[in-house]
Amino acid sequence: MGRMDDFANAAAYPDGLTEAGLTPDRLRDVLELDMWAFPTADSIEDLLGVPSPLTWDRAFGVTDAARPGELVALRASYPFSDTPVPGGRLKVAGLTWVGVHPQWRRRGLLRTMIANHFAHCRERSEPISLLYAAEPSIYGRFGYGLAARHLLLTLKRRAELRPVHGAGELQVRFETVSAERHGDLIAGLHAAVDRPGWVTRETPELAAMWLTDSPLFSHGHEVERIAIVERDGLPVGYALFRRKSEWGPAGPEGSVRVSETVATDAAAAYALWARLLDLDLTAEVTSGMLATDDPLLSLLVDVRAAKAAWKDNVWLRIIDLPTALATRQYQSDVDVVLEVSDTLLPDNAGRWRLTAGAFAVASAERTDAPADLVLDVRELGAAYLGGTSLLELAGAGLVTELRPGALRDASVAFGWPVAPGSSWIF
Ligand SMILES: CC(C)(COP(=O)(O)OP(=O)(O)OC[C@H]1O[C@@H](n2cnc3c(N)ncnc32)[C@H](O)[C@@H]1OP(=O)(O)O)[C@@H](O)C(=O)NCCC(=O)NCCS
């Protein structure tokens, strides 16, 4: 903890600036600053009409003594207290609402906010932090590695799916999303997904914001709809979507924008996508953020007809290395000495012996034994959820193998049968 404090102290704000916790009565100031960081055509009054998702005791603002009423920078985090990691669950801090007023940019405010965020993660015993990056080039310098990728698919109406046994026995209901009617259903099915990095909207503030529909979110589409799949009256999946009506010379050219799908089995996935792919007056369907192993990819008869774009999903920072490494499982026996560099959190730096049985308990202890692999904490973060292979990173010169065979063995061990990813941007 002592060395940690050094980093927080070393990264100080310029004279006159101080950081303090925020309270709900500062929401207008928060939104004003956010509108400077993320330009929008929406009015502040409209934005104030949407419930704030912030967890206020995790929201911090930076003010200038000369103008104490305004914020010059902002950071917050969400508590994701039970997030799946390979073979386990962890308390995670989801860094969010990061913004610096353009007048103050590139003067080290972000650096200092990150240092304070790390200190708070330590205080709250959150061994990892996740984020979505507005620009991918920002966070690597702070030790965040790209831990998951997702696919966005664009499909033609009536794209053919391989049949799934039992799908015909399921019922699909279409409704308009309502917090009262669907809040528990969505929260229950979403929280049951066991995918590394699958953070869920566990605070009441996040759940309320997520279920609020507002013209601010529709971008020319209709109100938010839900397709619910049921087996014998029990929900086994849902999709959130909006349609947009358009007419071309040859008739209807509407589109469907799916924002999230959860299906507990193959039949539910088939039933959802079969309906979404054949809505009247539409020509095209875009998926939400799909994990790279989403069942839709294997359901499609002609996968090449789907236009696919891949994007960076969550970025991961290891805050407490021994706890993080020992809390996940590995998919093969492993005994490897990792030499880790971490200039910001030196408590993580040095040589660690990772030992684990396949899908069993693991331990990470300091060691003086010679290193097998050398890497930065950023690459360890990228590999942590099992979606980025150490071999892949070594191919880009980011991991160095000192003991022949160690890279292959560790790459297998760090992998995971379920691809990582989160279904929503926080
Ligand atoms: C991105 C943002 C938070 C950076 O804040 P800042 O106070 O200017 O950042 P700092 O001065 O602390 O910069 C720290 C380092 O990051 C680099 N950096 C900052 N923003 C960057 C960007 N957008 N792209 C690449 N590098 C960036 C700086 O050059 C600096 O590098 P160095 O350590 O080599 O000197 C700020 O510009 C902003 O609010 N942008 C718009 C909103 C946004 O993108 N927020 C992030 C949400 S995920």
The per-residue pLDDT for 190 is 98
**Of 229, 215, 203, 213, which is closest to residue 179 (Cα–Cα)?**
213
Looking from the CA of residue 97, the nearest atom of ligand 1 is 47
pTM (2 decimals)? 0.96
* Confidence label for 66 from pLDDT (cuts 50, 70 and 90): very high
Q: pLDDT of 338-355, one tens digit each?
A: 999 999 999 999 999 999
The strand pair at 73-85 and 59-64 is best described as antiparallel
The per-residue pLDDT for 132 is 98
Looking from the CA of residue 112, the nearest atom of ligand 1 is 12
**Of 386, 391, 412, 395, which is closest to residue 148 (Cα–Cα)?**
386
Q: pLDDT of 6-39, one tens digit each?
A: 575 567 999 999 999 999 999 999 999 999 999 9
* Confidence label for 3 from pLDDT (cuts 50, 70 and 90): low
* Confidence label for 194 from pLDDT (cuts 50, 70 and 90): very high
The per-residue pLDDT for 2 is 45
The per-residue pLDDT for 9 is 55
Indicate whether 164 pLDDT > 50.
Answer: yes
| Rounded to 5°, angle at Cα 229 from 225 and 234 | 120
The strand pair at 145-146 and 315-318 is best described as antiparallel
Name the residue at shortest CA distance from atom 34 of ligand 1.
141
Indicate whether 366 pLDDT > 50.
Answer: yes
110 CA to centre of ligand 1 in angstroms: 6
Q: pLDDT of 88-123, one tens digit each?
A: 999 999 999 999 999 999 999 999 999 999 999 999
Name the residue at shortest CA distance from atom 30 of ligand 1.
106
- Mean pLDDT in residue range 234-246: 97
How many percent of the chain have pLDDT more than 70?
Answer: 98
HSE, side-chain direction, 13 A CA sphere, residue 260: 23
Ordered domains of the chain (ranges, CATH) = 2-149 (3.40.630.30), 151-177+213-310 (3.40.630.30), 321-414 (3.30.1050.10)
Indicate whether 409 pLDDT > 70.
Answer: yes
The per-residue pLDDT for 11 is 75
Which residue of 31, 60, 100 sits with most ligand 1 atoms within 8 Å of its CB, as the best mutation to test the pocket?
A: 100
106 CA to centre of ligand 1 in angstroms: 6
The per-residue pLDDT for 326 is 98
Which residue of 33, 40, 110 sits with most ligand 1 atoms within 8 Å of its CB, as the best mutation to test the pocket?
A: 110
The per-residue pLDDT for 1 is 42
The per-residue pLDDT for 4 is 52
How confident is the prediction for the chain on average, in pLDDT? 96
Which residue of 105, 312, 343, 425 sits with most ligand 1 atoms within 8 Å of its CB, as the best mutation to test the pocket?
A: 105
In this structure, the residues whose C-beta lies within 6 A of any atom of ligand 1 are: 37-38, 98-100, 105-111, 133-135, 137-138, 141
Name the residue at shortest CA distance from atom 41 of ligand 1.
37
- Mean pLDDT in residue range 250-266: 97
Indicate whether 248 pLDDT > 80.
Answer: yes
HSE, side-chain direction, 13 A CA sphere, residue 184: 4
Alpha-carbon distance 31 to 48, whole Å? Answer: 8
Q: Which amino acid is at 320?
A: D
352 CA to centre of ligand 1 in angstroms: 31
382 CA to centre of ligand 1 in angstroms: 20
77 CA to centre of ligand 1 in angstroms: 17
Looking from the CA of residue 38, the nearest atom of ligand 1 is 42
